[in-house]
Structure formats: C-alpha cells, structure tokens
Amino acid sequence: MSRRVGTAPIGPDGYDAPVDDSERRELDLLADQLRRMRGMLFRYSDLFFRRIRDWGMLTIALLVLGSTQIAPAAVVIVPFLVPFAFLETAYLFFYTIFARRHAEYLERAINVRFGHDVLIAHRLEAAYFYPPDAPKVAALSFGDPLGMMSASTIGYTVAAGLLWAAGMAGTISFAAASGGLAGILPVIAVVWTVGVAAYLVGSSLTRRAEDRLVAELKRGYLAPVESGAPPVDPGSD
C-alpha cells in the first residue's frame, strides 16, 4: 500500500491522486479510533471531577458526624478515606492520559498519511493545557507550573490536605480517649497515607507506564508509515 509521506501524490491533471480502497479503509479505521479516544477522554475527565466532588462531600459529612455524639468514631475513617480517594482519582486521571496520548498519535498518523497537518487538536492541547512530555505529578506540570492545570492540582491537593489534617486531629483525639488498640490508629493512618502518596508521586515522575505507552504508539502508528514497512506484530518478538 502506498503511503503519503511529505506531500500527497499528485495526478496528471494536477489534483491529488484518488485514494485507493485500502488507504480509505485504513483512514476510516484511524478516524473511528480517534473518535473513540476523544469520547473516552471526555468521559474519564468528567468522571474524574465528579469523583473529587463526591469524595469531598463524603469526607466533610464524616467530619461533621464525628464531631457529634451520634458517631464520634466516624472521624477515624477520614485519614484513611482521603488517600483512597487520591488512588481512585489518580486511576481515572491515568485513563485521561492514555486517551490523550492515544488521540495524539492517531492524529499524527493521519497527518502523515495526508502529507500535512489536517488535525491539530493534540498541538492545541499541548499549548493550552500542559506539554505532555514534560515531567509532572498528576496535572502539576513542571513544563507549565503556573498554568491552570497545575494551579488546580495544587488547590485540590491543599484542600484534601486540610480535610486529612482535620480527620487526623479527630483520630488522635478519639484514640487518646478510647485507649487500647485504638492508640495505633493514627500510626496506621500515617503509614497508609505516606505509602499512597509515595507511590502516586513516584509513578508520575518515573513515567514508566506512559513511556511504555508512547513507545508502543510510535511503533504502531508512526514507525510503519515512516519506514514504509508493514506493522510489526509485538507478539513476534
């Protein structure tokens, strides 16, 4: 199958040569996959913010309940719940990165086939949100530390930290009043929190999963087109 690299083929009449059926089917498949990734990006972004709202409301409700005589032990849940909320929302953000990077390489692959930039959404996202290849912790990008995404990430983290601190203070008070095995609850909460935070920060900075993803996207979408060779079956290695 011929590949359109650099400039599109020109027919004898001076217009673009017609695309054959195999090229058209390939472009249709890429376009369909691009629509799926854009839809996935929207759905997981929407779910990400919904989950932040839900966990925030639940945490506040537990703090209020723990301050009453109805269920004073409810406050103990908070320093365990906040790190768990970070885990779940990080998982959702993990999927938005997958969808965004996948869409980026689909657009680049389609552009290569046309010989010029037909689709530029991935470039607009890099300019408007944050550069995808820059180091980052969640959406706190070192490539744009003063950007809206970085500021929002810091704001959500500070708010969550305040809720966690209020829950920890209540947990310490509850443990001191209860005595016995309850006294180790603050220690367990700190160990749990530090473990979750260390994993999330470490996984963001090392970019192991994202780097593997980008390598496969280049291999699957760009390398065959640029070399003119058929796609490599990863299972054949």
Number of residues that this document lists for the chain: 237
pLDDT of 182 reads: 83
pLDDT of 154 reads: 96
pLDDT of 225 reads: 59
Per-residue pLDDT of the chain (237 residues; tens, 9 = 90+): 344 444 444 343 433 444 578 888 999 999 999 999 999 999 999 999 999 999 999 999 999 999 999 999 999 999 999 999 999 999 999 999 999 999 999 999 999 988 899 999 999 999 999 999 999 999 999 999 999 999 999 999 999 999 999 999 999 999 999 888 888 999 999 999 999 999 999 999 999 999 999 999 999 998 765 555 444 433 333
Terminal-residue alpha carbon distance, the chain? 24
